[in-house]
Amino acid sequence: MPGPDGKIVHAEIQIGDSILMIGEEAPQMGAVSPKQLGGSPVTIMLYVNDVDTWFNRATKAGQFPVIADLMAAGTVSLTAVRLVGPHLTNENHEAVLAKAANKAKAEIQELVAPLRDAAAKISATVAQAAEWLHHRNEIREAREALHGELVVNASSLRTNLLEDQCLLSAMDYDERALKGETLPPRKLPNSVIFNYPVSTVWDAVRSGAVTRMGLDEKLAYARFYSRATRHQRAADRALDYLSHLRGYRETGTPTPAETRLILQYTGRAQTALTAKFQIEQQMLAEAKALGGRPVPISSVEQTMLQTECGSAGVPVGKID
């Protein structure tokens, strides 16, 4: 093949199934003459069918130079290198190669069988360790996300408890007045906050990372979030009864029949609200046990509580 300057880039000579390539000096391509190089400029290119296998053998020979010496001496064959190569280490290569010297293929296969089993066990152990690390990181991330959600829920529960105290006090006062006690007029709060616990993170991780947590921790989270469903039912019932009470109280002075009905709904509202209050106390204690303590109450929440409780003539309480 001629080059642009008239030089021969390379020519091929085939001898049997082997090809020799020769060419003129081309310094720009790293091909220099023996005179300029001070040594042989010959490059040997070996054509094989299974390039990867031969490459791996050559790599092993470079990693362990003794292989080249043993092959040159004829004590270790290419087949032996192919069989033992994947199992050689810096610690065992001399002993393994010595045992493989002048051995037939079947004998070498027996030699590497224990090495193959050991490598498989090591590989399995490494895979298990990698899986364990993955699961540990997954659990750590789940804990961090659940902690953030617990803080949000604990803060909401604290606000709910303060509100419940106002409502229960207001309904108790109202009930006494309806039953005939001479008391200054008061009214139920005009509105309620009623925060509901959120479970977005829990829903996302409970069938994954949570299953790999310790039993006590797993059960603690499960108990907390299972109460959230009961809390919502109790809160919905309380809201329904409070809505009926406001409707009856806004009609003016109740008749005896209306008074009996108001007392009936007051009792139901008190029962539902007391159940809600008790569930919230349990959930707040459980959230704190899991590390989710409420943040300081915000000025907005404080103002809303003061407005709500103040409309019923009840001071805002305190929840630790």
Q: What is the pLDDT of residues 169-209, one digit of tens each?
A: 888 888 888 888 887 766 666 667 778 899 999 999 999 89
Residues 81 and 60: beta-carbon distance below 8 Å: yes
Residue 280, C-beta contacts closer than 8 angstroms, at least 6 positions apart: 157, 160, 161, 164, 231
pLDDT at 136: 85
Please name the helix (run of DSSP H) or strand (run of DSSP E) that holds residue 25, with its range, or none.
Answer: none
Determine phi and psi for 243, rounding to 5 degrees: -65, -40
* Segment of 38-42, 99-103, 133-137, 294-298 carrying the highest mean pLDDT: 294-298
Report the C-alpha gap between 220 and 288 in whole angstroms: 11
Q: How confident is the model at residue 246 (pLDDT cuts 50, 70, 90)?
A: confident
Residues 23 and 31: beta-carbon distance below 8 Å: yes
Residues 151 and 126: beta-carbon distance below 8 Å: no
Report the C-alpha gap between 261 and 267 in whole angstroms: 10
- Vertex 266: Cα angle to 260 and 268 (nearest 5): 110
pLDDT at 187: 67
pTM assigned to the model: 0.59
Report the C-alpha gap between 162 and 69 in whole angstroms: 86
- Vertex 253: Cα angle to 251 and 258 (nearest 5): 75
Report the C-alpha gap between 107 and 113 in whole angstroms: 10
Q: How confident is the model at residue 150 (pLDDT cuts 50, 70, 90)?
A: very high
Q: Single out the residue of 286, 294, 298 nearest to residue 202, CA to CA.
A: 286
Q: Single out the residue of 153, 162, 165 nearest to residue 293, CA to CA.
A: 153
10-19, 31-40, 204-213, 234-243: least confidently modelled range = 31-40
pLDDT at 163: 87
- Structurally, the chain folds into a number of domains equal to 1
Report the C-alpha gap between 169 and 149 in whole angstroms: 30
Q: Judge whether 230 lies within some domain.
A: yes
Q: Judge whether 275 lies within some domain.
A: yes
Q: Judge whether 287 lies within some domain.
A: yes
Instruction: Please give the residue range of the domain that contains residue 170.
Output: 155-311
- Work out the number of other CB atoms within 10 angstroms of the CB of residue 95: 10
Residues 41 and 29: beta-carbon distance below 8 Å: no
Q: Judge whether 200 lies within some domain.
A: yes
Residues 70 and 88: beta-carbon distance below 8 Å: no
Q: Judge whether 75 lies within some domain.
A: no
Q: Judge whether 255 lies within some domain.
A: yes
Report the C-alpha gap between 99 and 111 in whole angstroms: 8
